[in-house]
């Protein structure tokens, strides 16, 4: 797909259309590498993991008590012939009606099929125990079957899974010490603008502190990317052209914020056109237009995808979440990813415009009846970053919708892994 069909001056692109176009232009997933389990958190599996063993390995006791070989008649009193602690095995087969004392996790001896917990037992003679409420005892109770969590040969985790703590635990339960992960995507990030000043420096009379490089870095790090922070670019064609071409040499993606409008100091578009191809996309959404997407040519290797995000700090985060995030996840092999969406009731009337998707910053909570409500954080200007700080979700008002009345259902995207 070429970029030119999305050139400025043509019709507005819909949000879904933009997502489709970006999906079609996503480079293949980056290469993979073996990583020890202890540093695999947040990585994406590059290959299916098939269980090499049964988990648990043995049928074992879920309670402390006795393991019993079920007798012919329902048991009331049984003979205890030994003891088995977690980490040991009882090698003799039990005859019907025989039992051994057992601790949680210990393998059931051959012949045993039922565990009765200590709280239901009383000692009647040296090696005899009485069952207090025999009518409550069921054959096969309190037993964890071998392979009931994962059977040997079963798909344990699919390629494309992003590893959370529970995944690490599960991989460890299979005895795996390392896994095959996609390597982190390397993303070069610039801010642009003569007024943009690094935090820590004195603020010039007409300056503004650089916000976007830091929110973008946070988003990228949470996505498991390697950030190449290349600072602030002046509004100058030659500087930008050189800096972007250089950045593309060892990055998998290059990203800027600001400088993509059509003001006289907006040099991102001409810079990109000199070193690759660029489409300036007017997307029917707010906040977040315009957005530039392009590719930077390289002497060796495939061209590098480029995002020219808007300058306003809220627009930067919203466009990253909606458009950059899916591409980065796909480049890391997480193909099936979709943002989480819920439906909430509007706690206030919301204004939008037909034909445009609006993303308000929202706060959702449930009421006593269990209904989910959402309100905006107040003023919604695309420079008001405190709205992102106050929010716990984005409210997504679809293009079909011009206004949302109080009490009407509306889609929200709860803040998740990244925000
Ligand atoms: P631009 O598209 O470059 O005209 O930027 C739009 C608005 O975003 C302007 O008010 C810029 O000052 C502001 N802006 C651009 N880059 C940043 C940045 N890195 N941090 C904070 N504000 C920015
Ligand atoms: Mg600017």
C-alpha angle 399-400-406 in degrees, rounded to nearest 5: 100
- How far is the CA of 213 from the CAs of 60, 189, 220, 229, 269, in angstroms? 54, 7, 10, 8, 19
Contact 313, 211 (CB under 8 A): yes
Name the residue at shortest CA distance from atom 11 of ligand 1.
311
- What are the b/e assignments for 178-189, b being 16+ CB within 10 Å? ebbbbbbbbbbb
Cα 305 to ligand 1 centre (Å): 22
DSSP helix/strand/coil, 118: helix
Query: Residue 62: CB partners within 8 Å, gap ≥ 6?
Result: 104, 115, 142, 143, 144
Atom of ligand 1 nearest to the CA of 312: 8
- Residue 230 has a pLDDT of 96
State how far the Cα of 31 lies from the Cα of 41, in Å rounded to an integer. 18
Helices and strands (H, E) in the chain, number of each type: 8, 28
Q: Across the strands, what pairs with 306?
A: 254, 294
- Which of 321, 42, 326, 338 has the alpha carbon at shortest distance from 181? 42
User: Mutate which of 209, 257, 385 to test ligand 1's pocket (most atoms within 8 Å of Cβ)?
Assistant: 257
- How far is the CA of 340 from the CAs of 29, 40, 213, in angstroms? 22, 23, 25
Backbone angles phi, psi at 17, to 5 degrees: -65, -40
- Residue 66 has a pLDDT of 97
- Which of 98, 138, 97 has the alpha carbon at shortest distance from 117? 138
Instruction: State the ligand closest to the CA atom of 208.
Output: 1
Average pLDDT by consecutive 10-residue portion of the chain (419 residues)? 50 91 93 96 97 97 97 92 95 96 97 96 86 93 96 97 97 97 97 98 98 98 97 96 96 96 87 90 90 93 95 97 97 93 98 94 98 97 96 97 96 96
State how far the Cα of 115 lies from the Cα of 143, in Å rounded to an integer. 6
Burial of 418 (0-12, 13-18, 19+ CB in 10 A): middle
User: Can you spell out the DSSP letters for 123-165?
Assistant: EEETTEEEES-GGG--TTTTEEPTTSSB-TTSEEE-TTPBPPH
- How far is the CA of 324 from the CAs of 187, 231, 279, 316, in angstroms? 11, 20, 15, 10
Output the six-digit token pair for 143. 């037993």
Spell out which residues line ligand 1, taking CB within 6 angstroms: 191, 193, 195-196, 208, 210-212, 257-261, 263, 310-313
User: Mutate which of 197, 312, 381 to test ligand 1's pocket (most atoms within 8 Å of Cβ)?
Assistant: 312
Cα 201 to ligand 1 centre (Å): 17
Cα 258 to ligand 2 centre (Å): 5
- Residue 3 has a pLDDT of 59
Name the residue at shortest CA distance from atom 18 of ligand 1.
210
Output the six-digit token pair for 243. 């800096």
State how far the Cα of 288 lies from the Cα of 291, in Å rounded to an integer. 7
Cα 218 to ligand 1 centre (Å): 18
- Residue 7 has a pLDDT of 47
Cα 193 to ligand 2 centre (Å): 4
Cα 170 to ligand 1 centre (Å): 45
User: Mutate which of 261, 262, 290, 311 to test ligand 1's pocket (most atoms within 8 Å of Cβ)?
Assistant: 311
Name the residue at shortest CA distance from atom 16 of ligand 1.
311
User: Mutate which of 190, 193, 212, 235 to test ligand 1's pocket (most atoms within 8 Å of Cβ)?
Assistant: 193
Tokens 């092999």 — which residue? 333
Surrounding ion ligand 2 within 5 Å at CB are 193, 258-259
In this structure, the number of other CB atoms found within 10 A of the CB of residue 284 comes to: 20
């Amino acid at each position: 797909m070429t970029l030119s069909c999305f050139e400025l001056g043509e019709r507005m692109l819909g949000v879904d259309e933009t997502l489709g176009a970006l999906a079609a232009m996503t480079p293949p997933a980056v290469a993979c590498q073996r990583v020890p389990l202890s540093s695999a958190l947040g990585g994406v599996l590059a290959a299916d993991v098939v269980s090499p063993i049964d988990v648990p390995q043995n049928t074992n006791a879920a309670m402390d008590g006795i393991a019993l070989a079920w007798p012919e008649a329902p048991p009331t009193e049984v003979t205890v012939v030994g003891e088995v602690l977690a980490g040991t095995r009882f090698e003799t087969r039990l005859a019907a009606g025989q039992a051994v004392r057992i601790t949680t996790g210990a393998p059931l001896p051959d012949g045993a099929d039922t565990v009765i917990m200590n709280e239901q037992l009383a000692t009647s003679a040296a090696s005899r125990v009485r069952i207090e409420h025999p009518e409550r005892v069921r054959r096969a109770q309190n037993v964890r079957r071998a392979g009931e969590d994962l059977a040997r040969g079963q798909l344990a985790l699919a390629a494309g899974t992003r590893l959370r703590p529970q995944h690490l635990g599960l991989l460890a339960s299979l005895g795996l010490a390392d896994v095959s992960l996609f390597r982190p995507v390397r993303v070069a990030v610039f801010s642009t603008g003569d007024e943009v000043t690094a935090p820590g420096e004195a603020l010039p009379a007409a300056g503004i502190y650089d916000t976007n490089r830091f929110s973008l870095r946070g988003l990228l790090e949470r996505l498991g990317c390697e950030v190449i922070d290349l600072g602030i670019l002046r509004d100058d064609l030659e500087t930008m052209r050189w800096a972007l071409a250089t950045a593309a040499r060892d990055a998998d993606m290059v990203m800027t914020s600001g400088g993509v409008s059509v003001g006289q100091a907006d040099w991102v578009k001409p810079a990109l056109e000199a070193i690759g191809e660029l489409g300036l996309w007017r997307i029917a959404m707010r906040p977040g237009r315009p957005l530039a997407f392009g590719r930077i040519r390289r002497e060796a290797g495939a061209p590098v995808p480029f995002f020219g995000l808007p300058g306003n700090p809220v627009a930067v985060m919203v466009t990253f979440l909606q458009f950059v995030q899916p591409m980065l996840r796909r480049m890391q092999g997480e193909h099936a990813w979709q943002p989480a969406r819920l439906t909430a009731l509007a706690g206030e009337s919301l204004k939008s415009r037909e034909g445009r998707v609006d993303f308000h910053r929202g706060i959702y909570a449930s009421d006593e009846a269990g209904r989910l409500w959402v309100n905006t954080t107040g003023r919604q200007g695309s420079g008001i970053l405190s709205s992102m700080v106050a929010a716990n979700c984005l409210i997504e008002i679809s293009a079909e919708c011009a206004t949302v009345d109080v009490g009407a259902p509306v889609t929200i995207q709860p803040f998740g892994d990244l925000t």
